[in-house]
A and B are shown apart, each in its own frame.
Chain A
Amino acid sequence: MSVAELADVEVAYGGRAALGPFSLSLAAGEIVALVGPSGCGKSTALRLLAGLETPEKGEVRRDAATGETAVVFQAPTLAPWLSAAANVALPLELSGVGRSDARERAAAALARVGLAGREAARPAQLSGGMAMRVSLARALVTSPRLLLLDEPFAALDEITRRALADDVLALWRDAGPATVFVTHNVEEAVYMASRVVVMSPGPGRTLADVASPAALPRPPGFRTTPQFRETVEQVSAALAQGMAAA
C-alpha cells in the first residue's frame, strides 16, 4: 500500500524541462533517499509529493491528507519572532489545535529531539544544529504519515550531520512515517535510507534504484561494514554513469 506516488510526472520551468518523466512509489514505513546532481529536480519531486506544486504531465497520488504531510527544508526556516516552542506549535495551531494543548505537544516534541529546557529560546539564540532540531520537531509534532526532507543537513558540519542522521532514524523508528530524503551526499543517503533512488542530471529520471543491504535502524559501526562500502560504490557508479551520459 503506497502512501504517495509520482507516476510519469514532468515539470518544466520557463519552458525548460526540469524533471521527468519520473516515477516514484513510496510504501508505508519506507525511507527513500533521492540522490542526484544539482538541478536534477530532486527538490521539485519533493514539492510535488508535498502537493506544493503540480506537474505538467503525469499524476501525483497522495494518501496523506492536508496536515499529514511534513516538510523539513534546507534551512531551519523558523520564524525569528517566535520561541522554539511557538515555532514547533505553529503547525498544530494552524490546524486548529488549542493553544495550551499545542504548546504541551510542542514541548514534548522538543524533548524528543533533545531540546528540553530550550522551549523559550529564540532561533537566533540557537546553533545551526539546534535550529535544525527545532525544525525536525516542528515536522514531527503533527505525527505526519509522509515526511519530506529537502537536504536538511546541507548547511551543517560533518559531526552534527552524523548526529542528526542518527536522531532522524531514532525518531523515524518511533513514529515510522514514509520518508523521502533529498541529498547529494551518497554516504548519507546509503546510511539513512532503506532505498536509494539515483537520478540523472536535469531533467531528472531514475537511473538506479538501490535497496539497502541491511534493515533499519542501523547497527553501530554500520558505516565501516563491507556492505555499506559496496552500496556506496554502487550508488556512486550509477551517479557517475549518469553524469558521463549527459
Chain B
Amino acid sequence: MTRLAAALAPIALIAALLGAWEIACRALSVPSYVLPPPSAVGEALASDWKSLLASAWNTLAMALQALVAASVIAQLAALGAALSPTVHRALRPLAVVLQVTPVIAIAPLVNIWAGIDHPERAIVALAAVVAFFPIFSGAVTGLRSADPDLERLFDLYGAGRGARLLRLRLPSALPFLLEGHKVAAGLAIVGAVVAEFVAGSGSAQGLAWRILDASHRLQTARMLAALLALGLLGAALYALFEALERAGLKWWRGR
C-alpha cells in the first residue's frame, strides 16, 4: 500500500499541477502565445511527434558523437598526465580554461573554423568541449586513486611502470571513469543544444531548432512540446548512463 502510494504520489502531484494550470489558463483567459494550457501542449505533441522524434534523434546523435570524441581525447590526455607529471602540469591550466569558458562564448569561433556550411561539425565540437572536462578530471583523479598500500605492495614485488598501470592504476580508475562519463553524457546534450542555438542546424535539425522555430512563430505550445521532448531525452540518457555505471560497479567489485 505504502509502495503504491509512493509510486502514485509524484504522478498525482503532476496531474494536480497540470489541472490547476489548465483551469487557470481558461479562467483568466491567458493568451496562448504567453502561456498555452497543457491541453494545447498535448495537441502540439500529438501533431508534431514525428518531427520531434527526428529532431531528438539528431540532437542525440550529435551528443553521442561528441561524447565519443571527448571520451577518447580526455582519457588519452589523462593517461599522458598520469604517466608524466610534466604532461599533467602542462595540461591542467588548459583543461581548466576550457572548463570555465562558457561554451556559448566560443561557439561563434568554432562556427567559423567548422565552416558555415557544416554547422553539425561545430555542434559536435562544442558539445565535445563541454563533455571533455568531467571525463578528464575523473580519469586523472581515478588514475591517482589506487590504495597507497597496494602501491607499496607493487613496490615490494618490483613491479614495472607497465604492470603498475595495467594491473593497478587503470582498474582503480574505473569507478571514476564511469562517474565522469555519466556527468559528461548529460553535459553533451546541453552542449549540443546550446551549440545549435548559436551555430544553426544545417540539414539535420535538432531540438534546439524546433524550439527556436516555434519561438519565432510565437507558437508557444509547440515550443513547450519541444522543451518537454528535450527534458525526456536528457533524463533518458542520464538514466541509461546511471544504469551503465551501476552495472559497471557491480562487475568491478563483484556484487
Which residues of A are interface residues toward B (Cβ below 8 A)?
47, 50-52, 66-67, 69-71, 73, 75, 77, 79-81, 83, 90-91, 94-95, 121-125, 142
Residue numbers in B under 8 Å from A142 (CB-CB): 157
Is the CB of B23 closer than 8 A to any CB of chain A? no
A-B interface contact total, Cβ < 8 Å: 62
Residue numbers in B under 8 Å from A125 (CB-CB): 254-255
Which residues of B are interface residues toward A (Cβ below 8 A)?
147, 149-150, 152-159, 163, 167-168, 171, 174, 252-255
Answer whether A79 and B171 are a contact pair too, CB < 8 Å, given A73-B149, A94-B163, A124-B253.
Answer: yes
Report whether over half of chain A's contact residues are helix, strand or loop; otherwise say mixed: loop
Which of B149, B157, B174, B255 interacts with A94 by CB under 8 Å? Answer: B157
The reply to whether A124 and B254 contact each other, CB–CB distance below 8 Å, is yes
> Which 7 residue pairs are nearest across A and B when measured between Cβ atoms?
A122-B254, A94-B157, A77-B149, A80-B253, A66-B158, A73-B149, A81-B171
Residue in chain B with minimal CB distance to A76: B149
A133 nearest CB across to chain B (Å): 17
Q: Can you list 15 A-B contacts (CB < 8 A)? A: A50-B152, A52-B155, A52-B156, A70-B156, A71-B152, A73-B152, A75-B149, A80-B253, A90-B153, A94-B163, A95-B158, A122-B253, A123-B253, A124-B255, A125-B255
Answer whether A94 and B154 are a contact pair too, CB < 8 Å, given A75-B149, A79-B171.
Answer: yes
Which of A47, A83, A122 interacts with B255 by CB under 8 Å? Answer: A122
Seed contacts A80-B252, A90-B153, A91-B157; 6 additional CB < 8 Å A-B pairs = A50-B156, A73-B152, A80-B254, A81-B174, A81-B254, A122-B254
What is the bound-complex CA distance between A142 and B158, given in angstroms? 13
Residue numbers in B under 8 Å from A71 (CB-CB): 152-153, 156
What is the bound-complex CA distance between A75 and B150, given in angstroms? 11
What is the bound-complex CA distance between A90 and B154, given in angstroms? 9
Residue numbers in A under 8 Å from B174 (CB-CB): 81
Which of A47, A77, A124 interacts with B153 by CB under 8 Å? Answer: A77
A82 nearest CB across to chain B (Å): 8
Residue numbers in A under 8 Å from B254 (CB-CB): 80-81, 83, 121-125
The reply to whether A77 and B252 contact each other, CB–CB distance below 8 Å, is no
A81 nearest CB across to chain B (Å): 5
